[in-house]
Structure 1
Amino acid sequence: MNNRNNLSAVSALLLVAALALPTGNAAAQDATSVAGTYTPVVATSFGDNPRGQLILGSDGHYSLNLARATLPKITAGARGKGTAEENKAIVGGSIFHYGKYTVDAKEKTITFNVEASTFPNWDGATFKRPFKVSGDQLTYTDNAPSGGGGPHDVVWKRVK
């Protein structure tokens, strides 16, 4: 085979391989491409201007924390000495969990496998969420919000 035939064969092979790859959002929505650090934009259960961070590691580990824009200070100044009202407001206004996550680009879902949470009922739970990525925003539908209520979208913006 001469060089021209080799070049033609390689070009044809590359074209076939390129056509077999996913395109558009499906290609963008995998664990590697969503990996990063995000801040909350919209989290209905946590009111206006929620605070927090979602870290999606390229290794499949995640950490998520969300809180209302303001939480009450504990008057006594020690974590273990909050009043019933202070503790209720803090627990109701914040959530943290971590574990492992997977992305299914075909189904357009992100699955959180919770190892531990500040809401202990979620320890060991698995949550599969429909999601999409648009520019720097990752949005998923929370169908089991920690604060109760119905399903709603949670919107995160990638930190640059």
Structure 2
Amino acid sequence: MNRRFALGLSATAFISVVAFSNVSFSQARSLQEQLIGTWIYESSKATREDGSPIARPKLQGAVTYTPEGRFHFITVRSDAPKYASGDSARPSQEEAMAIASGVVAYTGTYTVDESTKTIHVNIETSSFPNLVGAPNQRRIVTSIGDDELTFTNPRTPAGITLELVFKRAR
């Protein structure tokens, strides 16, 4: 009787462990599934090809990934001047330059290479026209969790490497 009880208890425990393991594996989400949503800009680092750091302005912004494979990205200098005229169509030359040089916005489609943790972006519209249709636009995800996303843009058109950190929007 004790043997049957012990065998039954062992079998029940084994089945429970297997069932729990299967639930854990089936709940593992792909990188693309984890990306879906809006992420708020937290910080960034820029480096030159020789590894030397580049000072970054104070920024705010966000990136959004949709389940349909579309994305939107924007960063804006948080210290941008207000227009003295109050009319967005009539900035002074200095105001216009400060705004134009402090905004990066683009949108388009994306795909994810799960094996390399790489987001491949096809930029369709941008505040920086040189990005539109530029080949080999990729973002390498170095870390992703429920609340934080870090990716690297390994080579911008200016030849620098950017690492960007985002927090999930709530």
For residues 75-86 of structure 1, the aligned pairs below 5 Å read 75-86=84-95
Q: What is the one-letter code of the residue matched to 1:36?
A: G
**In the alignment, structure 1 residue 30 sits paired with structure 2 residue 39:** no
2:44 is matched with which residue? 43
1:142 is matched with which residue? 153
Q: Percent identity?
A: 29
CA contact (8 A) 2:76 2:103 kept: yes
Give the secondary-structure state (helix, strand or coil) at the position aligned to 1:88. Answer: helix
Choose which of 72, 88, 104 in structure 2 pairs with 1:63.
72
> Which 5+ residue runs of structure 2 have no aligned equivalent?
1-14, 47-55
Computed over aligned residues only, the root mean square deviation of the Cα atoms, in angstroms, reads 2.6
1:99 is matched with which residue? 108
In the superposition, relative to structure 1, how do residues 91 and 44 fare at CA in structure 2: closer, same or farther (>3 Å)? Answer: farther
Q: Distance in 2 between matches of 1:63 and 1:87?
A: 23
1:123 is matched with which residue? 132
How many residues align? The count is 139
Q: What is the one-letter code of the residue matched to 2:43?
A: V
Q: Distance in 2 between matches of 1:82 and 1:140?
A: 34
> Which 5+ residue runs of structure 1 have no aligned equivalent?
1-10
CA contact (8 A) 1:115 1:125 kept: no
Relative to the length of structure 2, the TM-score reads 0.70
**Greater Rg over alpha carbons, structure:** 2
Give the stretch that moved more between structures: 110-119 or 67-76. Answer: 67-76
Q: What is the one-letter code of the residue matched to 1:116?
A: T
